[in-house]
Amino acid sequence: MAINLGFTPQELDYANRIYNESGGWLPKLAHEVMGNNFDSMQEIVKYCIKLRDDEYFQEAIKDVTNNHVFYEIPHESLDVLKKHYVKMKKSFNRGGKFFINDDFSSLMIKESASLVECRDLEPPYDIYNGGRFIDGSDRYKLFKKGTKESTIITQRHPYAETEEDLKSEQAKIEKMDDNNYLVKIKNEYVGILNRFAICVSTKPPAFHCGCFCILNSAGNIIYVYAVEFAGDLKFDKKIENNLGRWNNGLIVMAIGYKKKELEPLLMKACEYLKKYVDPRVVVLVKPEHVFEEKTNWLVEKEEETEFNY
């Protein structure tokens, strides 16, 4: 993979001819090679020649071009190359801009509601227990999470002959609108499903389930990564507040629950982003953590102890 370093073909040609003849920058030779272009192009050609002997720069180039997949973010190599593109931007006005607005994630998934699963509910509320419907419709949107009970939204109403039959210490149902009901269920019987978010940030992730690092022509490093979250309300809130909105260096482009959807969504987000940021280097980093489809129960069951007599 060749990297576009921002030099024109003519500048590269001048630099190669001067370097091959002298092994460095010689003003007299540069005058002969560049002719009338010497005054306007000498600084950028001199800088191009300087990079030929910069060991750190050359190693960084090899690192990002020879490795297709990394097991950790190559911060050192990216930082070396970032300095180059920043210099090209500041000294020679080469390179584009980096800008993301609220319309950036228009083609991505916008569903953000937490999904919950229920267990061990007795009739008539056993209709909400997980595993009853093979189409996955036994998972419900979380309306509110409380310290002792949580509320789900559903179009299902438990069967009961009388209002008295609906009374239970486990759950309580009430009408929300023409199509939906609110069901309050004690937290002992409720679990929140694991979710992943596809994020774009100018800050490296603290942990991730797969990450692309994109270095653009202006010297910006943008991280496109997946992160698992569920149960940490403060973190959940941060993710949902940034869904489709660029805020404090972070935008969330999608939220999902199914493991098979994570990698395609991550790649889709990366390809979409590349259209807007003028990329020069793109590297893939293997997941630090593999996303799991699981339910995080709000109250863990006490383990039963077996006694052998």
The C-alpha atoms of residue 192 and residue 139 are separated, in whole angstroms, by 9
**303 pLDDT band (50/70/90 cuts)?**
low
Q: What is the structure's pLDDT at 173?
A: 95
Least confident of 119-123, 209-213, 254-258: 254-258
User: Can you tell me the distance from the alpha carbon of 152 to that of 139, in angstroms, rounded to the nearest whole number?
Assistant: 10
Q: What is the DSSP letter of 288?
A: S
Q: How far is CA 287 from the centre of its chain?
A: 11
Residue-level pLDDT at 103: 53
Q: Which residue has the tokens 């990450």?
A: 211
CA distance 8 to 45: 10
Name beta bridge partners: 225: 199, 211
pLDDT value for 102:
46
Six token digits for residue 187 = 């937290």
The backbone torsions φ and ψ at residue 195, rounded to the nearest 5 degrees and listed phi first, read -130, 160
CB neighbour list of residue 60: distance below 8 Å, 6 or more residues apart: 76, 77, 78, 80, 81
Report the alpha-carbon distance of residue 195 to residue 228 in Å, rounded: 6
State yes or no: pLDDT of 78 exceeds 60. Answer: yes
Among 109-123, 151-165, 180-194, the range scoring the smallest mean pLDDT is 109-123
Instruction: Identify the band that residue 114 occupies on the pLDDT scale cut at 50, 70 and 90.
Output: confident
Q: What DSSP string describes 128-196?
A: GBTTS-TTSTT-EEEEEE-SSEEEEEES-----SSGGGG--SSEEEEE-SSS-EEEEEEGGGEEEEPEE
How confident is the model over 112-124, as a mean pLDDT? 89
The one-character DSSP state at 213 is E
Radius of gyration for the chain, computed over Cα atoms and rounded to the nearest angstrom: 28
Q: For 224-237, what is each residue's pLDDT tens digit? A: 999 998 756 666 67
Reply yes or no on whether the pLDDT at 169 is more than 90. yes
pLDDT at 309: 46
Answer yes or no: is pLDDT of 49 > 70: yes
Cα–Cα distance, 189 to 171 (Å, whole number): 9
- Region 162-189: mean pLDDT is 93
| Cis-peptide, bond into residue 124, ω within 30° of zero | yes
Is a pLDDT exceeding 90 seen at residue 285? yes
The residue whose two tokens read 């990079």 is: 51
* Cα gap 255→288, rounded to integer Å: 19
Place of tokens 């990002």: 64
More confident of the two residues 257 and 187: 187
**Pairing mode, if any, of strands 181-186 and 149-154?**
antiparallel
Q: What is the pLDDT of residues 6-30, one digit of tens each?
A: 999 999 999 999 999 999 999 999 9
Q: How far is residue 24 from each of residues 27, 152, 285, measured CA to CA in Å? A: 10, 71, 36
